[in-house]
Amino acid sequence: MALPAVVSVETLTPEAVAKTIDHALLRPEMTVDEVVEGCRLCARLQVASVCVRPCDVRIAAEQLRGTGVAVGTVIGFPHGSSPTSVKVCEALAALDDGAEELDMVLNIGRLKSGRTDEVRDEIRQVVEAAKARLPGCCVKVILECALLTDDEKVAACRAAEAAGADYVKTSTGFSSGGATLADLGLMRASTDPAATRVKASGGVRTLDFLVECLGVGADRIGTSASEAIIADLRARRAA
C-alpha cells in the first residue's frame, strides 16, 4: 500500500500505517503463548510482518499462514558477532522454518575497525544464500547506529547496498539507543531509494514519532507498540 505524497497524521490511514510496521516479538522472556497472541494481533491489524526470535519462526509461520502477514526473524542478533558461516546457517534455517524476511546485524566491531570490505562480503554471503533459497526473501541489515559515528553509518549503508541488501535498519532495540530522525535522514541520503529502503527500529512507540520517521525517509517501522499506534490514529480520525 503506497503512502501519500505528504506524510502526516491527517493523510495516513490505519491500513497504510499497518503496512509500514514490522511488529517485534523479540523479548527474550516471551512465552510461547505470548508469541502466539502476538501473531494473532498481527493478523488482526494486518501489519507488514512480524519479527520473531529464530526459535519462534515455525510457530509464527503456522499462526500467520494465509493471513498476508510476512514472517521475519533476526540473524546474528543482537551483537552481530557470529562468524559469517553461522549467520548464513541461521538464515537458511530460518527460511526453511518459514521466514520470508531476515534482519541481520552486521559485524559492528569489523566496521569500527575500518574493515568495510569484510562487512560488505559477509552481508553479500547472507544475501546470496538467502535469495538462492527463497528468491523473494527480503534481507535487512541492522547497523546499530547508537554505536557508530556518522562516517561509519555511511560506510555501513554503502556496504549493505553494494552487497544487495533490501533495507538498512537503525537498531536492534537492545543497545544504548534506537532510531533517531538524524540517523534516518543520513541513511536515506547514503543509499539509492530505488535500490535500498530504510527501516526505523528502536524506541518507535508513538504515532507521532512513527509519522516523523516516515517523513524523513523510513519505509518500514519496527515496533512492539503497533496496537497502540493504530488505535491512536483511528481515534484521531474519528474525532
Question: Cell numbers at residue 21, please?
Answer: 510496521
Residue identified by cell 533490501 is 166
Contact by Cβ (8 Å): 103, 140: yes
Residue 191's nearest CA partner among 220, 142, 155, 215 is 155
Contact by Cβ (8 Å): 222, 19: no
> 19 catalytic, yes or no?
no
Catalytic-role residue among 19, 140, 153, 169: 169
Distance of CA 164 to the CA centre of its chain: 16
> 153 catalytic, yes or no?
no
Q: What are 200's strand-pairing partners? A: 221
Question: Cell numbers at residue 219, please?
Answer: 519505509
Q: Where are the beta strands (DSSP E) in the chain?
A: 21-25, 49-52, 70-75, 101-105, 138-142, 167-169, 197-201, 220-223
Question: Cell numbers at residue 185, please?
Answer: 535522514
Q: What are 199's strand-pairing partners? A: 169, 220
- Could you list the active site residues? 169, 199
